[in-house]
Amino acid sequence: MRDSHEKNHSLTVYVSIGLLLLLTLVVVIERLGIQAEETGTELEEVPASVVQNKKETEELLKETLIIMDEPVAGQADVELMQVLDGLSVGYDTMATEEAATTGLPDLSEYRTVVLNTSQTEQLANSGALDEVMNWVEGGGRLWNARPNVNSAAFLNYPDAFGIEEMEAGPQEVWQFDLVTDFMIGSEGFSYELEDFETYGLNVSFTEDTVIHAVQEETETPLIWEKEYGQGRIVVNNMDIGGKSSRGIYEAQYSLLEDVFAYPVINSSVFFLDDFPAPFPEGWQEHITEHHDMDVETFFSTVWLPDMMQLEEKYGIPFTNVVVVTYQDKVAPPFDETVDKETFEFYGKLMNMSGGEIGFHGYNHQPLVLDGFRYSEDLGYNTWHSTEDIAASLEALIATTNEAFPEENPSVYVPPSNILSEEAREVMANQFEEIKTIASLYVVTGTAYEQEFDVGEDGIVNLPRTVSGLEFSEYNRWMVLNELNFHYVNSHFFHPDDLMDEDRGADKGWTYLKGTFEEYLQWLDDHAPGLRKQKASDGAKAVQRYDAATFQRTSSENGYEISIDNFYDEMYGIVRIRERTVQSVVQSVDGGKLTPLTSELYLLEATQDTITIQFDE
């Protein structure tokens, strides 16, 4: 490729890297009018004593009874319980067979029953189903969380579930279309369920049934609700469980009550992996094709100013995670010479809009020991000992601190999102600088999986949920779910995405920049009040979220939220069903509400008790 350009570029003038960097600096500052900013954090770190005082799930008020197939929870049950844990909902579990043979507990002790079972005929035959439905009619809440094409509940109580007609046999479901704004970001939302194989009931409904999601092509309802006597029933008619769908399930659960509040993190974080890091020299096929320049010139004079313009326009402080060198040594000494001038220049320039520097690796070799087996051939080495891993981390931290003495990096991103527990133990025991690890929320292969929480070792887990520059269908699905579950956006990409065809490089930077900006604008339009944070601040928001739990109390004209283990601030989402409450918010003591949809509000709590009063 380089030879083919020698004739076409015989008159090209190559400038030294020093002049190129100076030119870039002048161009960027002129284009953006950027003023250097302090990169201090907005949130203070939560003391360990507060984090460790978290109330465990078993200590929460038992609001819900889950009836499930097996005595030992299956994966669908585990995911459901993860959702309830995230909502600060206490629950008991009971196997379907036990409920059918020994009877149900006193349902008056619960607010909600969740049917997460394919064996409702056992409940019907034993009379337990009649007991549940009578309880719902008297004011209870029922969530049918698992689709069941032969459900005795639907067959025995069609009116209660709003069913007018039900055709025999299942209906294949391949499309998810939201038709109400019961979720954040639901306007015009449609998703092709390529990663799911699922079926649902083929039914038609009575007029008083409220349908929230359908498969439009077949008019198959996927999520609906129905008032039954003094109670309410919500039905899920699709099996798309898993971490990427938790927001869908959270939203269904929150429909059950007239008013329902739950804690969220409220953080939007953008990671730029492998930056600052050495750029490849010379020419590269996709960059040359679209921009007619070598790699270094493109990144210095086109990509970097564009990135800073996006950072300035949308107010997103990038967290840039450092790679010192791409040599593949996994044994000391780690003394590779780096181009400090370039290294410092790129990092400081990217941080002028308030971003920060984080750690990625002295090199790009994942911190795993000999004997580790990668799920695919990535061309990486393994490390011979934890001492060698520690030596590389020490070199990484020393080099980064030397280049950026004004920074206090605290966030570590594992190379290729792969990390061993042995390496994490090294970090926790030997490197107090590393306070946060940011890997992945949903994983494949041997990647390191995380929840949004604080580990027992005190390190904050801040997983990334989406990646890449294209606002793909999957990215939209994941962002929709995480906005509704955690009110979080956590995204990463790499400069070398622009040189990898699998990540869209053949489409060119102009196209990828446009799709990335579409994503940024979508967030601004659909997530009011979403805090745009550096990863270190996002981690501190996770500390507050993980430490606290909500307790909820309803009255005729009010709603009280008590926050256990409140530190200094907390966020939540409140659903207020004006359709059923027939009221508007008169006052909010202890916080403020920001509208998100017609019935969802972002709660900013400033004290541990929030009281919402409604007009009569």
- Tokens at 363, concatenated: 């090199």
Does 322 have pLDDT greater than 70?
Answer: yes
When comparing pLDDT for 407 and 254, which is higher?
Answer: 254
Q: Is pLDDT of 571 > 80? A: yes
* Digit-coded pLDDT (tens) for 455-486: 999 999 999 999 999 988 999 999 999 999 99
pLDDT of residue 241: 76
Assess whether pLDDT exceeds 90 at residue 536.
yes
Q: 188-192, 336-340, 598-602: which range is least confident on average?
A: 336-340
Closest by CA position to 105, among listed 71, 131, 74: 131
Spell out where 250-297 has E strands. Answer: 259-264, 267-272
End-to-end CA distance of the chain: 74
Give the per-residue pLDDT at 284: 84
Decide: 253 and 343 in contact? Cβ < 8 Å: no
Delimit the domains of the chain by residue range: 24-45+267-465+530-542, 58-256, 548-614
> Residue 18: what pLDDT?
45
Is the per-residue pLDDT at 340 higher than 80? Answer: no
Per-residue pLDDT averaged across 138-142, rounded?
98
pLDDT at 615: 85
Quick check: 251 pLDDT over 90? yes
**123 has a pLDDT exceeding 70:** yes
| Fold that domain 24-45+267-465+530-542 belongs to in CATH | TIM Barrel (3.20.20)
Q: What is the mean pLDDT of residues 317-328?
A: 93
Over range 594-603, report the average pLDDT: 96
The CA distance from 341 to 359, in Å, is 19
- The CATH number that domain 58-256 falls under is 3.40.50.880
What single DSSP character describes residue 486?
T
| pLDDT at site 12 | 33
- Rounded average pLDDT over 186-209: 86
Q: Which residues contact 525 (CB under 8 A, 6 or more apart)?
A: none
- Is the pLDDT score of 361 beyond 60? yes
**Distance, C-alpha 590 to centroid of its chain:** 27
Q: Can you read off the two tokens belonging to residue 500?
A: 């990898």
User: What DSSP element (H or E) covers 347?
Assistant: helix 340-350
pLDDT score for 353? 63
Residue 4's pLDDT is 36
Query: Can you tell me the mean pLDDT for 566-574?
Result: 97
- pTM here is 0.92
173 has a pLDDT exceeding 70: yes
pLDDT, tens only, 23-40:
555 555 555 555 444 434
Q: Is 239 helix (H, G, I), strand (E, B) or coil?
A: coil
The predicted-structure confidence for 42-74, as pLDDT tens digits, reads as follows: 799 999 999 889 888 788 999 999 999 987 778
Q: Tell me: the pLDDT tens digits for 275-315?
A: 888 878 889 888 888 888 998 889 888 998 899 899 989 99
Q: What are 76-110's pLDDT values in tens digits?
A: 899 999 999 999 999 999 999 999 999 999 999 99
- Among the ranges given (163-177, 492-506, 531-545), the one the predictor scored with the smallest mean pLDDT: 163-177
Q: What is the DSSP string of 553-581?
A: EE-SSEEEEEEET--S-EEEEEEE-HHHH
The whole-number average pLDDT for the span 496-515 is 92
Helix axes 304-314, 509-526, angle to 10 degrees: 10
| Percent of the chain whose predicted confidence (pLDDT) is above 70 | 92
Q: What is the mean pLDDT of the chain?
A: 89
How confident is the model over 349-366, as a mean pLDDT? 86
Contact 572, 486 (CB under 8 A): no
What does the angle CA 568 – CA 573 – CA 575 come to, to the nearest 5 degrees? Answer: 145
CB 208 within 8 A of CB 226: yes
Is the pLDDT assigned to residue 115 strictly greater than 80? yes
pLDDT of 136 reads: 98
